[in-house]
Amino acid sequence: MIAFEVKDMTCGHCVSIITRALKATDKDAGVRIDLATKRVHVEPVSADADDIAEAIRDAGYTPVSVATGHGEVAAPERGSCCGHCQ
């Protein structure tokens, strides 16, 4: 599941444009858009996160990546650059 916040998505027309753009990129993707919170949730099948972001951008909107609460990166340990080194 990939989530974006799209602040310039303001009405049902925007929702249908973005939905169409995403389906054109990945026709089997699951798309769920919540206009109230301006969130676009995509469950891609053949596309990756960059393809999805690009499809939204190409449609004329500005996607901002949002953490979905799954697999969030833990804060790095003090004393190493990313927590995996050393």
Residue 36 binds Cu ion, judged by CB under 5 A: no
Taking the complex as a whole, the smallest distance from the CB of residue 78 to Cu ion amounts, in Å, to 46
Residue 14 binds Cu ion, judged by CB under 5 A: yes
Helix (H, G, I), strand (E, B) or coil at 54: helix
Q: Which of 13, 70, 78, 84 is in the footprint of Cu ion by CB under 5 A?
A: 13
39/49 with CB nearer Cu ion: 39
Taking the complex as a whole, the smallest distance from the CB of residue 10 to Cu ion amounts, in Å, to 5
- Residue 76 Rama label (left phi>0; alpha psi -120 to 50; beta): beta
Query: Which residues have a Cβ under 8 Å from the Cβ of 37 and sit 6 or more positions away?
Result: 5
